[in-house]
Amino acid sequence: MKVLRYALGSLALVGFLASLVVHLQALMGIDVASSMPAVWFLHGGIFVVFLPFVLLSRKDFAGNKSLFAMAKGLPRWVAALGGVIFVYAMINFAVFMLNTGGGNPVAENGRYVLMEHGKLIREITATQFAAFKANEVRGFSGHWMVFYFVPAAYFLFWKPSSIPSPSSGAAATLG
């Protein structure tokens, strides 16, 4: 089981680092997905590490489903970094939503447009299109970082002896 945990943790860490690099590039206005469409595999890769995290953590946390319970078993720096990443992802999502202008950028019939549920919002320039595409990647990659970091922290750093049992009454549940 240790080998599996290490393998999943390492894979999650690689996913986190790749997401971080993509996110930083998107913050610089680079539309990573246009030059490297395989970046979207990071979206599906979350399930490879997050699903085992959910399944195994259910057993390990014995009914205490909060991330705060998990944080108690992590080194302080890992828990703090996780908190910072989580808060950042929420702020990033709010900024992403504000920057979308209510729509998705689409290249259509040789022109660039902003669409919302199949309806034209407005025509945009090629520069605006690239900025909107970079914003899309930034929005997704902010969440990818969280969904890779949590399993990486769990599989690589979490110590099972540090969580109180639910029968002791010391653990609050969210579930």
Do the Cβ atoms of 155 and 73 come closer than 8 Å?
A: no
**Nearest partner of 159 among 82, 69, 80, judged by Cα:** 69
The neighbour count for residue 83, using CB atoms within 10 Å, is: 13
Average pLDDT, rounded, for the chain: 87
Higher pLDDT pick, 74 / 167: 74
Q: Which residues pair with 114 in a beta bridge?
A: 105, 122
Do the Cβ atoms of 132 and 114 come closer than 8 Å?
A: yes
| Residue 82: C-alpha distances to residues 62, 115, 120, 144 (Å) | 22, 35, 39, 13
Mean pLDDT of 4-20: 97
Asked whether residue 172 carries a pLDDT value surpassing 50, the answer given is no
Over residues 31-89, the pLDDT tens digits come to: 899 899 999 999 999 999 999 999 888 877 776 667 777 888 899 999 999 999 999 99
Rounded Cα distance, 112 and 32, in Å:
18
| Residue 84: C-alpha distances to residues 68, 76, 79 (Å) | 14, 12, 9
Mean pLDDT of 152-175: 62
Domain ranges of the chain: 2-97+137-164
User: Tell me, what's the pLDDT at 50?
Assistant: 95
User: Tell me, what's the pLDDT at 163?
Assistant: 46
Higher pLDDT pick, 60 / 137: 137
Indicate the pLDDT class of residue 171, thresholds 50, 70 and 90. Answer: very low
Asked whether residue 102 carries a pLDDT value surpassing 80, the answer given is no
User: Tell me, what's the pLDDT at 174?
Assistant: 34
CA 38 remoteness from chain centre:
17
User: Tell me, what's the pLDDT at 97?
Assistant: 85
HSE, side-chain direction, 13 A CA sphere, residue 134? 15
Indicate the pLDDT class of residue 175, thresholds 50, 70 and 90. Answer: very low
